Amino acid sequence: MPRPARYRIMLVEDAGTEMVPYNPQPEPEFEPVESVSPGDIEMELLLQCLRRLRSRGPAGESGWTRSHEEEPLTFLLDAVSDAWIIRKPDGAVLFANEAARGLRLESRVYQRFEEFEVEKTTYVKRGLSYGGLTIEVATRRR
């Protein structure tokens, strides 16, 4: 079966009664974008999520926060009940969730693996260094 013909119709305002020729503008040429590594994109996404999480009010019934319906990574980081902390290259805390503050992870030195005890409960802390930041997650030992 033959394909139906496709037409491009352009509306042009006519200032008078004469026909106005249509001269399409050439497509703009874009400068080539520097290649960005997937790691750079991931890091920027992570930092954006942390900025959103830091822009909340106090915890509790009177607290406020933004909806994360359009931000799945921010939602996931906010919903995780395990303790996690992110530090800057100089060791300063960039973000620590409530569970991390409860375990006082800010006072612990970064290590790739550590077992520690808080109130007779053993926790396992794993960490990694990525893009100059350190990310640590502490879970209850099973």
Residue 18: pLDDT band (50, 70, 90) is: low
**Exposure on the CB side of residue 36, measured as CA atoms within 13 A:** 9
- The predicted-structure confidence for 50-76, as pLDDT tens digits, reads as follows 777 776 666 555 555 566 667 777 777
Q: Which CATH topology does 38-53+68-140 take?
A: Beta-Lactamase (3.30.450)
The model carries a pTM of 0.60
Of 126, 122, 127, the closest CA to residue 141 belongs to 122
Listed in sequence order, the residues at least 6 apart from 83 whose beta carbon sits closer than 8 Å to its beta carbon are 96, 97, 99, 100, 102, 103, 105, 123, 137, 138, 139
Average pLDDT of the chain?
A: 78
DSSP 79: H
Cα(52)–Cα(67) distance, integer angstroms = 10
Show me where the domains of the chain are located. Answer: 38-53+68-140
Q: Span 63-91, mean pLDDT? A: 78
3-state secondary structure of 77: helix
Residue 120 in this model has a pLDDT that exceeds 60: yes
